A and B are shown apart, each in its own frame.
Chain A
């Protein structure tokens, strides 16, 4: 019996050894984790081949059992190691496949493009930001105005020659379409005492319709009234503005002029930001046409009659006002050569002005 028992023990040890070899052969053909796990269960599970072999352990003499037990452990460890290696290899192959994927990054993004903001809005927003940064408030007013707000309060009486300078649209009820945004200055000053520090952007109307004039166009005016506001403050403010709008190298040039609502009055030129007003670039500069200067608007010290018209004490406060055409600013800033493009609303033009 001993020999039989010894034979059995040896057979059993051999069986455990072949168990691991069989498993190795079997999983070599398997491709997925579930298949491998299933195979592992068939060998090491409760009803697996290793369990079956262990059931024979009772027939082995107790002295031989430790050797069989050791063989069983070796087989289990070997199978578990095979499983681990195989799964790791599989995961690696999966990851490699995943990483092998690529896209054509040059195809466009999906979905609708963001829209665009009109250049006249853009330039207005930019100008507003600059003046907000200098402590101005943004004020607006109606398009349909009284003649008093538009002319009389602005030292432009019914027979004032300046009323010839701008041809006004009249509407029903004795009202007009405002010919500048200056009525917003009047409304603001009538609404409260000084100090006043505002800009007034908005559309205005004049009876002009040709290559360089449209019957409606946007303006932005500014007004600063307080004690001791001087012509020097006007100059400094205009310089600060043009340097933020056109660039830090920009200079201004004031030329004496005439507006009924300011005295002294000045035309405002900014130095050309393309050629910097310097030769030789200036001579061939298309933007400033060789002058080195770009006309940007009008300005001046608020006329005492205007202060008086809104009930301010003209001996106590002074102020300056300035105004500019936004179409012109947008043309300069964005290199637009034809004013009409702003009102044609051709998307192929407009879509060059991103919303950001």
Chain B
């Protein structure tokens, strides 16, 4: 909301040292944050009010005239080309030599078609007051010749952008902000003066009937007769513009002016275009109306309407109707000042998508008790500006007057919530400054809340009021710091454990959004064949089609990040993400299942500066996964091929199972077809693990002392069927149940068809033998090794090499 400091100064007396900065600091400190201060009118200087003394033609040009003007004691002949130079006695704006205009232009005396002109007469555009104007600006007769125009019209101002929280409807006006400043500086608010205008009896009258008192607690109508519609004075138009409102006509501008001043929305109807009486009611099914912006609007029965004998004349609290709009021909006005139920206004404004200054305030709550003043102020202003008269006899329907609100506040509670032992005098002093009435009650107070503060309903609200007048800013009492710092919870959740392990393994963490496109889920799910991956939870109101479904896997985000890095020339990308994926609950339960996953994507070449990098393969990926598993204490996870996921290469993928057989995740090369769909032009390796699975599979750590006797190693090398996996060979070796065998591993898996018999592979195993109680002899080791190799030979056809 924009607030003019000039306007504020009219409504509250501020100490002389209070400038824009200090006023803003006071408001911010009290919870009405001033987000910016915009200085206005500083670019205009030296333009003065001048009286027209006479006009004569220019000898050298038909369209130019020579205007004799007087400002103070100075009289000059100024050349002017404007068509609207007023007759003698009127006031115009004269920029004499030396005057400065917005845009940096400085006036001088110059010859215009052979006549020397000392400066010029200015239009609103030239002085920066508006974007459009016809001819020069003519000031009201009250303007004193010689005075500075910028000051006379109020162009020099500071405009605050105030962020008013939705609980403070009372602060949505200059008067409301003035009240806050008065409380801060200990001064008083001055209500704006009501203009003295002629009053007449009779002539205009119209009854008002409120059918829906729930929706409309108060409706008043005043009548202004015999006015003429025209532009409003420049000072008012300028002030409206500074506050973000467009000037329309004196009648409409006056209602907007009083709205900004008091916070009360007002609506002016062309009285002569109304028929019968005003009825406030809900819309009927299928009813339609055209609002004054020319739009035809369909209505629903919850919409509150102002109607006359013919139908809707306004959508209550939101926008007037086209049929009763004030126009240039309007001579008589019905001025509406009313309150409407906030919820009803909010729903209708939201549904129709037409937020307005009026609805903004009605949605937050307008004070019914402030209506008589606002209505009188606006009606008088309209009459003054339009040259009309107030018609005696105001209609005031007030079916639901607000209850007087009193809130008890106990001193105990004040002290308990604030943590400070304030005394009751302090509370009274703070609350009184804010316009609250205080009466002693029990150990505390019974506080009467002004009707413009609907946000105050409980003791805690009063405590905030007491504290916000300065107490928030006081330093904290140090003895309160970090009390009872006792129990230290587990500092590292499983997800962070996975993060640290993956970073240690050489991957960099990324963060992607929890929603992805439907196309991405289709790409990773075999076009939806895998429903777990393909059927994500959809958003009803996504930002765009790129983010319309909750991710079922971390793959789309990682693929996207890889693609972006590759396109930016970063070829070596080892990425990981840890975060929740959202999947449909099995059995149609409405609440989806969220689980933290840890996933990684590897692309590029093996690192190192000593040798040119080899392309990555499955085993680089597997080492990363093993590092994470080992980090969680899972040394003997099982890798079972083929992988179950539709996005992995069928031959280069595996499921990861815990020792007890629980699924922990998957790993493998991405299927080239999926890569193509994801737009990645490079081989990439991927894994995805369930963090909770890792945490559950973690066995408690058991250790043994290092062996005391040395070990002996023996190798065995053989041809075996290509299909017999290392895990199967290992199991066969272990089936010997050889007590001396303490470790075994593959040293070589050799498949070059030039040397290996068809359908076979060459494998080299190395075994370690050790006894716990003695050093083994060579013979003992040989015997043990023979038994172990025999067990393999018994299980599979092999040829020892």
Q: Mark B605-617, 1 if CB is under 8 A from A, else 0.
A: 0111110000000
Q: Mark A101-126, 1 if CB is under 8 A from B, else 0.
A: 00000011011111111101100010
B580 at interface, CB cutoff 8 A: yes
Within 8 A of A (CB), among B411-434: 416-420
A346 touches B419 (CB 8 A): no
Counting residue pairs across A and B whose Cβ atoms lie within 8 Å, the total is: 250
Partner of B477, one of A174, A232, A258: A232
Contacts of A233 in B (CB 8 A): 419, 480, 483
Partner of A230, one of B343, B417, B489: B417
Q: Mark A128-157, 1 if CB is under 8 A from B, else 0.
A: 110011111110101110000000000000
Partner of B550, one of A116, A140, A144: A144
B483 touches A114 (CB 8 A): no
B573 touches A347 (CB 8 A): yes
A355 touches B500 (CB 8 A): yes
Partner of B31, one of A236, A258, A350, A351: A258
A207 at interface, CB cutoff 8 A: yes
Report the separation of the CA atoms of residues A159 and B511 in the bound assembly, to the nearest whole angstrom: 35
B484 at interface, CB cutoff 8 A: yes
A3 at interface, CB cutoff 8 A: no
Contacts of A174 in B (CB 8 A): 590
Partner of B417, one of A231, A344, A350: A231
A347 touches B565 (CB 8 A): yes
B619 at interface, CB cutoff 8 A: no
Report the separation of the CA atoms of residues A131 and B105 in the bound assembly, to the nearest whole angstrom: 60
A89 at interface, CB cutoff 8 A: no
Segment from A71-79, A163-171, A184-192 that makes contact with B: A163-171
A161-B167 CB under 8 A given contacts A107-B609, A142-B594, A231-B417:
yes
B488 touches A117 (CB 8 A): no
A96 to chain B, nearest CB (A): 28
Segment from A18-26, A41-49, A50-58, A263-271 that makes contact with B: A263-271
Chain B residue, CB-CB nearest to A173: B590
Partner of B514, one of A216, A303, A346: A216
Partner of A175, one of B342, B417, B502, B590: B590
B232 to chain A, nearest CB (A): 32
Contacts of A165 in B (CB 8 A): 166
B541 at interface, CB cutoff 8 A: yes
B419 touches A232 (CB 8 A): yes
A209 at interface, CB cutoff 8 A: yes
A69 to chain B, nearest CB (A): 47
Task: Give the interface centre of B463, B491, B504, B511 by most chain A CB atoms within 10 Å.
Answer: B511
B508 touches A115 (CB 8 A): yes
A133-B582 CB under 8 A given contacts A170-B539, A256-B31, A342-B511:
no
- Chain A: interface residue count, which band? 35 or more
A161-B166 CB under 8 A given contacts A171-B537, A171-B538:
yes
Contacts of A344 in B (CB 8 A): 564
B417 touches A207 (CB 8 A): no
A60 at interface, CB cutoff 8 A: no
Contacts of A267 in B (CB 8 A): 33
Report the separation of the CA atoms of residues A303 and B509 in the bound assembly, to the nearest whole angstrom: 38
Report the separation of the CA atoms of residues A114 and B166 in the bound assembly, to the nearest whole angstrom: 49
Report the separation of the CA atoms of residues A240 and B550 in the bound assembly, to the nearest whole angstrom: 38
Report the separation of the CA atoms of residues A190 and B539 in the bound assembly, to the nearest whole angstrom: 28
Report the separation of the CA atoms of residues A113 and B29 in the bound assembly, to the nearest whole angstrom: 50
A162 touches B499 (CB 8 A): no
A258 touches B166 (CB 8 A): yes
B363 touches A161 (CB 8 A): yes
Partner of B504, one of A115, A239, A252, A318: A115
Partner of A117, one of B476, B509, B513: B509
B507 touches A256 (CB 8 A): no
A312 to chain B, nearest CB (A): 15
Contacts of A114 in B (CB 8 A): 503-504, 506
Q: Mark A197-237, 1 if CB is under 8 A from B, else 0.
A: 00000010101010000111000000000001011110111
Segment from B62-70, B201-209, B220-228, B465-473 that makes contact with A: B465-473
B458 at interface, CB cutoff 8 A: yes
Contacts of A136 in B (CB 8 A): 489
A177 to chain B, nearest CB (A): 7
B496 touches A144 (CB 8 A): no
A308 to chain B, nearest CB (A): 11
A135 touches B480 (CB 8 A): no
B618 at interface, CB cutoff 8 A: no
Partner of B542, one of A142, A169, A257: A169
A253 at interface, CB cutoff 8 A: yes
B49 at interface, CB cutoff 8 A: no
Partner of B168, one of A258, A266, A348: A258
Report the separation of the CA atoms of residues A346 and B463 in the bound assembly, to the nearest whole angstrom: 49
Contacts of B594 in A (CB 8 A): 142-144
Interface of A (DSSP majority class):
mixed
A98 at interface, CB cutoff 8 A: no
A87 at interface, CB cutoff 8 A: no
A343 at interface, CB cutoff 8 A: yes
B506 touches A113 (CB 8 A): yes
B735 at interface, CB cutoff 8 A: no
A301 at interface, CB cutoff 8 A: yes
A172 touches B508 (CB 8 A): no
A304 at interface, CB cutoff 8 A: yes
Q: Mark B476-504, 1 if CB is under 8 A from A, else 0.
A: 11111111111111010100100110111
A171-B550 CB under 8 A given contacts A159-B346, A236-B481:
yes
A249 at interface, CB cutoff 8 A: no
Contacts of B511 in A (CB 8 A): 118, 120-121, 342-343, 345
Within 8 A of B (CB), among A317-356: 318, 342-348, 350-351, 355
Contacts of B541 in A (CB 8 A): 169-170, 207
Partner of A159, one of B343, B458, B512: B343
Within 8 A of B (CB), among A255-311: 255-258, 260, 263-267, 301, 303-304
Chain B residue, CB-CB nearest to A215: B543
B491 touches A235 (CB 8 A): no
Contacts of A118 in B (CB 8 A): 508-511
Contacts of B590 in A (CB 8 A): 173-175
Report the separation of the CA atoms of residues A174 and B591 in the bound assembly, to the nearest whole angstrom: 10
A303-B460 CB under 8 A given contacts A110-B608, A264-B468:
yes
Report the separation of the CA atoms of residues A52 and B658 in the bound assembly, to the nearest whole angstrom: 77
A162 touches B464 (CB 8 A): no
Contacts of A27 in B (CB 8 A): none
A196 at interface, CB cutoff 8 A: no
Contacts of A257 in B (CB 8 A): 31, 33, 165
A230-B570 CB under 8 A given contacts A142-B594, A236-B481:
no
Chain A residue, CB-CB nearest to B483: A233
Report the separation of the CA atoms of residues A236 and B416 in the bound assembly, to the nearest whole angstrom: 15
A232 touches B485 (CB 8 A): no
Contacts of B29 in A (CB 8 A): 255-256
Contacts of A125 in B (CB 8 A): 496
Report the separation of the CA atoms of residues A114 and B509 in the bound assembly, to the nearest whole angstrom: 11
B460 touches A263 (CB 8 A): yes
Contacts of B33 in A (CB 8 A): 255, 257, 267
Partner of B468, one of A162, A175, A256: A256
Partner of A144, one of B167, B476, B537: B537
Partner of B364, one of A134, A161, A231, A345: A161
- Chosen A-B contacts, 5 in total, with CB atoms closer than 8 Å, are A112-B608, A113-B607, A165-B166, A232-B477, A347-B565
A interface with B by C-beta (< 8 Å): 107-108, 110-118, 120-121, 125, 128-129, 132-138, 140, 142-144, 159, 161-162, 164-165, 169-175, 177, 203, 205, 207, 209, 214-216, 228, 230-233, 235-240, 251-258, 260, 263-267, 301, 303-304, 318, 342-348, 350-351, 355
14 extra A-B contacts, CB within 8 A, seeds A115-B509, A172-B538, A346-B565: A113-B506, A118-B510, A169-B540, A170-B540, A172-B537, A215-B547, A228-B416, A233-B480, A236-B482, A237-B482, A258-B168, A342-B511, A346-B564, A347-B570
The 5 closest A-B pairs by CB, nearest first: A230-B419, A232-B419, A256-B31, A264-B464, A236-B480
